[in-house]
Amino acid sequence: MTTVGPTTDRPVDFGPAGPVKAKHRAMWASGDYPRVAAELVGELGPELVRACGVRAGQRVLDVGAGTGNAALSAAATGASVVASDLTPELLEVGRRRAAEAGLELEWVEGDAEALPFEAGQFDVVLSSIGAMFAPRHQVTADELVRVCRPGGTIGMINWTPEGFIGHLFQTMGPFAPPPPPGATPPPRWGSEEHVRELFGDRVVGLDLRRQEVVFDTSPDPVEFREYWKHHYGPTIAVYAANADNRDRVAALDAAFLDFLRTWHRAGGYPAEYLLLTARKR
């Protein structure tokens, strides 16, 4: 595999999209997403790696890698792994996790909509609830396909519109700032029809399975609301946008609590996701 090297010492030039990307990056750096990644979704990365059949000797790219839940699991198989993410702060946590686990992989700052890699460079291109948050879905799908070699595997885990995270975004929607032009809501990546349209006939063997993970860290809805308000970037951003309006913050608090009470079950909060795998033609 061609070594691309980390880019944290040479900032990515996002061109006209710079302000949007800067806000996106700052959002994921806020709060404590490493805690969320560890406590709520830690099992999803290994699940995706298993589904993609990652094995020793393969060249693997994890897009929107965050703190490395999927990348580290892939590296543990003996694969040659590159973890790419827009947010340097999350990559730094990933580096520490890799060092603690005795794993070697590359950590590269990069945009899912303009990946800094050559075409056909990777045997497996995967993303666990990462690339789905890039605003332009078709551009992102095109990039995932471009950097995968013919016959290689593309795999993703994405939250569904009908699941917990889809409804979380629906709950926050009336209080959120307008999305950037051309943006599609992230949970649309969890729609089977949407995924088929995005990849089209450029892939074969597209397998789509709905599964769920249960969030069980905070059984009390009020406590769990505070968890999201203090740790999850998108929620922090919405509250920050309404911070100067007490009435709107109170209304958001009430809507958030209603949402959590509706979704609460005896074992926690079930969160549905779409697991997809395919081969590039």
Q: Residue 243's Cα: distance from chain center in Å?
A: 26
Residue 9 included in any domain? no
User: What average pLDDT does this structure show over 179-196?
Assistant: 96
The pTM assigned to this predicted structure is 0.93
Residue 96 included in any domain? yes
Residue closest to 149 by CA, chosen among 206, 207, 203, 100: 203
Residue 8 has pLDDT above 50, yes or no: no
Q: Residue 37's Cα: distance from chain center in Å?
A: 10
pLDDT digits (tens, 9 = 90+) for 227-266: 999 999 999 999 999 999 999 999 999 999 999 999 999 9
Q: Is the dihedral of CA 232, 262, 269, 278 positive or negative?
A: negative
* Domain CATH for 118: 3.40.50.150
Separation CA 84–CA 91 (nearest Å): 8
Quick one: DSSP state of residue 17?
Answer: G
The answer to whether residues 46 and 13 touch, using CB atoms and an 8 Å cutoff, is no
Residue 254 included in any domain? no
Instruction: Collect all residues with Cβ–Cβ distance below 8 Å to 215 and sequence separation of at least 6.
Output: 40, 164, 224, 268, 269, 270, 271
pLDDT (0 to 100) of residue 18: 73
Q: Give the Cβ contact number of residue 178 at 10 Å.
A: 6
pLDDT (0 to 100) of residue 7: 37
| Mean pLDDT computed over every residue of the chain | 94
Quick one: DSSP state of residue 279?
Answer: E
Residue 226 included in any domain? no
The answer to whether residues 75 and 103 touch, using CB atoms and an 8 Å cutoff, is yes
Number of domains the chain is built from: 1
pLDDT digits (tens, 9 = 90+) for 115-130: 999 999 999 999 999 9
Q: What confidence tier does 19 reach under pLDDT thresholds 50, 70, 90?
A: confident
pLDDT (0 to 100) of residue 230: 97
Residue 15 has pLDDT above 80, yes or no: no
Separation CA 226–CA 166 (nearest Å): 19
* H helix and E strand count, the chain: 11, 7
Residue 227 included in any domain? no
Residue 9 has pLDDT above 70, yes or no: no
Domain containing 154 equals 15-161+178-214+271-280
What is the layout of strands, in order, in the sheet containing 269-280? 106-109, 80-85, 59-63, 122-128, 148-159, 269-280, 203-215
pLDDT (0 to 100) of residue 20: 87
pLDDT digits (tens, 9 = 90+) for 148-164: 999 999 999 999 999 99
